[in-house]
Homo-oligomer: A and B are copies of this chain.
Amino acid sequence: MTSLPNDAPIDAEKLDRLAELAVKVGLDLQPGQDLMLTAPAEALPLVRRIAVHAYKAGAGVVTPILSDPEIALARYENADDASFDRAPAWLYEGMGKAFDQNAARLAVAGDDPLLLAGQDPDKVGRANKANAMAYGPARERITRFDMNWNIVAWPGAAWASRVFPDLPPEAAQRKLADAIFAASRVDQDDPVAAWEAHNATLRKRSDWLNARAFHALHFSGPGTDLTVGLADGHEWMGGASTARNGITCNPNIPTEEVFTTPHAHRVEGVVRSTKPLSHGGSLIDGIEVRFEAGRIVEAKAAAGEEVLLELIDTDEGARRLGEVALVPHSSPISQSGLLFFNTLFDENAACHIALGQCYSKCFRGGEGLDADRVAAQGGNASAIHVDWMIGSGEIDIDGLDADGNRTPVFRKGEWA
């Protein structure tokens, strides 16, 4: 069973280690557990190795759902206008059912982050919105952390050429593969041990923040003067985490963040993005927004403003925060100096916030909280969850208690 042509620019052994890591550390897939896997068709060499390791781990049945960028483009180039309000709800409802039956979920990222950059932003925005609404049954179970899930990356050819526009395609793909392998720690001798150590470091940070139980965080830096209230009973998480089905997984590979749930009604001030955001095949850059009582009341962007405005109009919760995450400017991904145009990487190179749905796991006793209780404690609900980067080497962060007393958390982008 050959997974890669001999002349492929991607190291087959490291790719296999990434697949094994995704199954063992990313998912900790259990004997008898089914696996639902989404991936670009181009990522088949990785998907095949994931299937091998999943079955070796005792998987029930592995079901890949493969996508193709040219089919997505065929829609923009040929479809009637009405098409852009449609989405395959039946597929996402099916995924929700699979999760209810304890299937694990693995997503392989690797699409061209700017696939739709040349398309009509109104159509792109509407199609993203229709898809986000239809995706509800799957997203709900993922954000509630019902079951073990994981995202890993495939060094897609088009993506590689966005990250390394000056390199020939094969060299670009090789460099992106190496960056993915390094960030995912599969270039180390014992990736599983490396992840244990890394998880312990992230745990130390979240333990420290949980002991402080801040009422709010205050971010200051160029263009940013933002107070992010934290949800009542919020809990900081990072790295390995235990899903409601009792399985401890690492949802993101790579990950460098600790994160928690902001209070949907206690965010005030202005914030400016520090890296471009690739969302649904479009680039949004130079975001500046103002929050009042947790809600975005002004928003603009230097690029992709129409897609941004469509995004925050998805539903009521799309204008409020569902996540705040801390990542030091010295994180390995940040130190690579690369801009990946992919949230899985860029969010792990900078402090970030996410618009939309919160993770109910980020509450003390979160496993037991229903949606009403999450909302009562300040957790946001939405059909979207979109992270964007607000951290840099110039950001200071203070923790505030209920009386407004300040504790330094970050100085110049590093843990204080």
| A residues neighboring B (CB under 8 Å) | 1, 3, 31-32, 34, 36, 41, 44, 47-48, 51-52, 55-56, 58-68, 70-71, 73-75, 77-80, 82-83, 86-88, 90-91, 93-95, 97-98, 101, 103
Which residues of B sit under 8 angstroms from A67, Cβ to Cβ? Answer: 64
Which residues of B sit under 8 angstroms from A80, Cβ to Cβ? Answer: 31-32, 55, 58
B90 touches A97 (CB 8 A): yes
Residue in contact with A75 in the complex, picked from B31, B41, B61, CB distance below 8 Å: B61
Which residues of B sit under 8 angstroms from A63, Cβ to Cβ? Answer: 88, 91
A90 touches B86 (CB 8 A): no
Which residues of B sit under 8 angstroms from A51, Cβ to Cβ? Answer: 70-71, 74-75
- CB-CB nearest in chain B for A96: B90
Roughly how many angstroms separate A34 CA and B31 CA in the complex, as a whole number?
37
Sample of 28 A–B contacts (CB below 8 Å): A1-B70, A1-B74, A32-B80, A34-B86, A36-B88, A36-B90, A44-B70, A48-B70, A48-B74, A52-B77, A52-B78, A55-B78, A58-B79, A58-B80, A58-B83, A60-B83, A60-B86, A61-B83, A62-B74, A62-B75, A63-B88, A63-B91, A66-B66, A90-B94, A90-B101, A90-B103, A91-B94, A94-B97
Roughly how many angstroms separate A62 CA and B78 CA in the complex, as a whole number?
12
Given A61-B88, A66-B68, output 16 extra A-B contacts at Cβ < 8 Å.
A1-B73, A34-B86, A34-B88, A36-B90, A47-B68, A48-B74, A51-B70, A51-B71, A51-B75, A52-B74, A55-B75, A55-B78, A58-B79, A61-B83, A61-B86, A64-B68
Roughly how many angstroms separate A79 CA and B54 CA in the complex, as a whole number?
8
Roughly how many angstroms separate A128 CA and B82 CA in the complex, as a whole number?
39
Number of copies: 2
Which residues of B sit under 8 angstroms from A52, Cβ to Cβ? Answer: 74, 77-78
- CB-CB nearest in chain B for A87: B61
Closest chain B CB from A219 CB (angstroms): 40
Roughly how many angstroms separate A112 CA and B48 CA in the complex, as a whole number?
17
Roughly how many angstroms separate A79 CA and B59 CA in the complex, as a whole number?
7
Roughly how many angstroms separate A61 CA and B68 CA in the complex, as a whole number?
14
Roughly how many angstroms separate A68 CA and B59 CA in the complex, as a whole number?
17
- CB-CB nearest in chain B for A34: B86
Which residues of B sit under 8 angstroms from A91, Cβ to Cβ? Answer: 63, 91, 94, 98
Closest chain B CB from A158 CB (angstroms): 13
Which residues of B sit under 8 angstroms from A79, Cβ to Cβ? Answer: 55, 58-59
Q: Which of A59, A61, A94 has the most CB of B within 10 A?
A: A61
Closest chain B CB from A51 CB (angstroms): 4
Q: Which of A36, A64, A67, A95 has the most CB of B within 10 A?
A: A64
Roughly how many angstroms separate A1 CA and B73 CA in the complex, as a whole number?
9
Q: Which of A52, A71, A86, A95 has the most CB of B within 10 A?
A: A71
Nearest first, the 9 A-B pairs at minimum CB distance are: A94-B94, A55-B78, A55-B79, A90-B98, A66-B66, A61-B86, A90-B97, A51-B74, A63-B88
Closest chain B CB from A236 CB (angstroms): 34
Which residues of B sit under 8 angstroms from A60, Cβ to Cβ? Answer: 82-83, 86
Closest chain B CB from A13 CB (angstroms): 18
Roughly how many angstroms separate A44 CA and B74 CA in the complex, as a whole number?
13
Which residues of B sit under 8 angstroms from A66, Cβ to Cβ? Answer: 41, 64, 66, 68
Roughly how many angstroms separate A94 CA and B95 CA in the complex, as a whole number?
9
Roughly how many angstroms separate A51 CA and B66 CA in the complex, as a whole number?
15
Roughly how many angstroms separate A74 CA and B2 CA in the complex, as a whole number?
11
Roughly how many angstroms separate A149 CA and B63 CA in the complex, as a whole number?
23
Roughly how many angstroms separate A312 CA and B126 CA in the complex, as a whole number?
49
Which residues of B sit under 8 angstroms from A94, Cβ to Cβ? Answer: 90-91, 93-94, 97
Roughly how many angstroms separate A15 CA and B98 CA in the complex, as a whole number?
36
Which residues of B sit under 8 angstroms from A1, Cβ to Cβ? Answer: 70, 73-74, 77
Closest chain B CB from A183 CB (angstroms): 26
Roughly how many angstroms separate A74 CA and B16 CA in the complex, as a whole number?
14
